[in-house]
Amino acid sequence: MNDPILDSLNAAQRQAVTYDGRHLLVLAGPGTGKTRVITHRIAYLILRQGIDPEGILAITFTNKAALEMKTRIQAILGELPGHPWAGTFHAFSLWLLRRHWRESNLAKDFVIYDSDDQKTLMREILSTREIPSAKAGVYLDVISRLKDDLMDAKSYAIHADMSQDAYRSALAKIYLAYQEGLKARAALDFGDLLLEANLLFKQNPGLATVYQERFPLIFVDEYQDINRSQYSLIKAVAGDKGSLTCVADDDQVIYEWRNANPKYTLEFEKEFKGAGSITLDQNYRSTPNVLDAAQKLIRHNGARREKNLTAVRPAGQEPEIVTADDEKEEARLIARRVRAALDKGIAPSQIAVFYRLNAQSRHFEIEFRALAIPYRLIGAVGFYARREIKDILALARLLVNPKDEISLWRVLGNFPRFSLTRDAISRLKIWARDGRTDAWAALDAAGRGAVALSSKAQGKISRFLEAYQALVRELGARASMAKILESIARESGYLEDTEEKDRALNAWELVESGREFEEQNLAADLGGFLGHTSLLASVSADNYKSSGPPTEAVSLMTIHLAKGLEFRAVYLTGIEEGLLPFKVSKTNPGEIEEERRLFYVGMTRAKDFLVLSRARSRFLFGSQTPAPASRFLCEAGLVQGDGPDRPILRRGARIKHPFFGEGRVVALIGAGEDMKATVQFERAGTRKFLVSRAPLEIL
């Protein structure tokens, strides 16, 4: 009998979808259909096993992946009463804390501070300790890692005291002050979401039991990327009786610097007794030529599970290696190849250039502009991180949470109608600090003339207080989300901004996003919308900045942002020692293994064409230095083992002849000293050579 849920699956996928054990680890290599397995397994359990969809929790890492999962599940299930809870780790934690703010000892209308808000608060803390504000990002990164490891500020302070280490003691004080600052403003940062969710269950075992019964079936995508706090949260919800299905690829762990820990994948059966393991081994994305090279590379890693991936597609073009004199010529050669690919009919959106560091993009941008190649930089500022959007949302947050002083100062510093000088804001802050009171009291004192401000500044404060009270009344009258946002946007002045039309369009787009959110969430309020936008504003591969049309542009991005994507043609650049792999410690083999996984991820994004380029010298870290070929080229079987600068002559390789110019190898006959090559030159037609004697340079 035909089954639409199972008929489109291969044998391994079908085995995973119909697995009837309690716990399951699905090892899914690149391009093997992991999302298909997750969505079809959820549909199978609901439609064929009679599982209540409301009892399923599906967790992933990015908003984009969560949306795709929801869309696919809905497409299979159709219109059924109830649906699985699907979203990111942070979204699930926020959902829990909104429901149990009392148990977590949080303010009811707590707000979420994004990276800019966090830096503003940290700079204030550092300024009182005479520490340069430029170090705010460094301290925040350390604190984020501590939270990922479930180390709260008070616990860390105890450890710091025991260690008698000066740096740890200083950090502990800053961490405590930072958390006190967040609490005073009724705010959480992203690390707090997971930390507080874990504490919620730890301190309320009965509540943990409630959610174990609510979600007896748990699915986790990209399980190889979880950190300690995410793992602990999953363990708490699963409990002793829950069923856990995780999809992972330990060969794609490239976020260890973000605290991702591959041990949770490698030790899955040890942690979850009786768990089954199924490997998806059919790759539907890449040609055998690309996949074989990638597998040769990754087998040099020790801490991994072996997977013998098989390409379903027929053989294609061999990976091409391009060698340039320096980074400028590398960009020029890549740009020419991209231009040629476009001229052959490959869509710009199906082409990507990857690099290890953002700094590498500059020369590619220059060359792409010269050849009129449309491109977009991926990973830049997203919609909710734009200044005008953050300004409008700051006043919205202040309506929901008047204690949020960072938002208050942002409004008073940025809104044209209320904009105060830095000196005026500084005077208000000093008055509040010396009087041991808050910002609102300082504004009230300014209105009475108790703070030394100009009459112009006093007038702006009066206008702000009048506008704020009007908005409070509007919120109390339960006006629609769009109406409130429009009123706030009008106060901002951006809706009527004739000089910066893009800002006006963005402001109106925010109003529309509020309308859409309210339509999709009938019980939504302004606080819920703000939580939603905070999650969307998080830094991830979801955010794009395009200098060309959004759908018809070549993508330029770091390899870290390429994970989860695929393109017909991939240009993987800067394949040199010191760059890829990046500078690694000789005493830490784990670092080189992560760099190897990063290269593997970059290679396996390619569907049809893979080009790998390097420069013989590169201007990096302030000087032009020699750049030896990366060891990874040899490990992937793409260059000879006895010399990093000797590429293997393959059919399809590009070569250069001193008289005939550049061409491509179209045929090889024989081996060793007797090998003959047929080369199709761009201008000189077809020529045949005895390889051992011909002056052929492989590009």
pLDDT at 15 over 50: yes
- State the pLDDT at residue 670: 64
- Higher per-residue confidence, 228 vs 447: 228
Q: Which two tokens stand for residue 533?
A: 């936008």
pLDDT tens, 460-471?
Answer: 888 899 999 999
- Higher per-residue confidence, 320 vs 132: 320
- State the pLDDT at residue 540: 35
For the ranges 185-189, 402-406, 519-523, the lowest mean pLDDT is seen at 519-523
Residue with structure tokens 């699905």?
26
Average pLDDT rounded to a whole number, residues 218-233: 93
- State the pLDDT at residue 671: 57
Active-site residues: which are they?
A: 34-35, 221-222, 252, 605
Q: Which two tokens stand for residue 363?
A: 């020369």
Does the bond joining 589 to the residue before it have cis omega, within 30 degrees of 0? no
Is 341 within 8 Å of 609 (Cβ atoms)? yes
pLDDT at 566 over 90: yes
- Higher per-residue confidence, 414 vs 205: 205
Average pLDDT rounded to a whole number, residues 44-56: 92
- State the pLDDT at residue 366: 84
Provide the β-strand partners of residue 690.
676
Cβ-Cβ contacts under 8 Å for 478 (sequence gap 6 or more): none
For the ranges 18-27, 61-70, 545-554, the lowest mean pLDDT is seen at 545-554
Q: How far apart are CA 653 and CA 636, in angstroms?
A: 16
Highest mean pLDDT: which of 133-142, 194-203, 408-417? 194-203
- Give the whole-number percent of the chain exceeding pLDDT 70: 92
pLDDT tens, 652-670?
Answer: 888 888 888 889 888 877 6
Average pLDDT rounded to a whole number, residues 337-353: 95
Highest mean pLDDT: which of 33-37, 415-419, 475-479? 33-37
- State the pLDDT at residue 694: 79
Please provide the average confidence, as pLDDT, over all residues in the chain: 86
Amino acid at 209: T
Cβ-Cβ contacts under 8 Å for 99 (sequence gap 6 or more): none
For the ranges 67-81, 291-305, 394-408, the lowest mean pLDDT is seen at 67-81
For the ranges 35-39, 136-140, 193-197, the lowest mean pLDDT is seen at 136-140
Is 649 within 8 Å of 698 (Cβ atoms)? yes
pLDDT at 382 over 80: no
Ramachandran sector of residue 661 (left: φ over 0; alpha: ψ -120 to 50; beta: rest): left
For the ranges 91-105, 541-555, 617-631, the lowest mean pLDDT is seen at 541-555
Pairing assessment for the beta strands 276-280 and 351-355 based on DSSP bridges: unpaired
Q: Which two tokens stand for residue 240?
A: 């002793």
SS (H, E, C) 554-599: EEEEEHHHHCCCCEEEEEECCCECEECCECCCCCCHHHHHHHHHHH
For the ranges 42-51, 146-155, 393-402, 618-627, the lowest mean pLDDT is seen at 618-627
Residue 546 binned pLDDT confidence (cut-offs 50, 70, 90): very low
- State the pLDDT at residue 287: 94
For the ranges 7-16, 292-301, 620-629, the lowest mean pLDDT is seen at 620-629
Average pLDDT rounded to a whole number, residues 306-317: 89
Minimal CA–CA distance to 114: which of 418, 388, 378, 406?
406
pLDDT tens, 169-187?
Answer: 999 999 999 999 999 999 9
pLDDT tens, 576-612?
Answer: 998 899 877 666 777 888 899 999 999 999 999 999 9
Cβ-Cβ contacts under 8 Å for 416 (sequence gap 6 or more): 492, 493
Residue 360 binned pLDDT confidence (cut-offs 50, 70, 90): confident
- State the pLDDT at residue 209: 94
Helix (H) or strand (E) run with residue 157 in it:
helix 153-163
Average pLDDT rounded to a whole number, residues 190-199: 95
SS (H, E, C) 15-29: HHHCCCCCCEEEEEC
Q: How far apart are CA 476 and CA 471, in angstroms?
A: 8
Helix (H, G, I), strand (E, B) or coil at 438: coil
Highest mean pLDDT: which of 115-129, 543-557, 685-699? 115-129
- State the pLDDT at residue 658: 80
- State the pLDDT at residue 543: 36
Residue 322 binned pLDDT confidence (cut-offs 50, 70, 90): very high
- State the pLDDT at residue 354: 96
Minimal CA–CA distance to 613: which of 647, 570, 573?
573
582, 586, 591, 592: CA torsion to nearest 10? 70
Q: How far apart are CA 204 and CA 611, in angstroms?
A: 54
For the ranges 85-89, 132-136, 208-212, the lowest mean pLDDT is seen at 132-136
pLDDT tens, 80-131?
Answer: 777 899 999 999 999 999 999 999 999 999 999 988 899 989 988 887 776 7
- State the pLDDT at residue 163: 81
Q: How far apart are CA 190 and CA 140, in angstroms?
A: 11
Amino acid at 544: Y
Residue 317: count of CB within 10 angstroms of its CB: 18
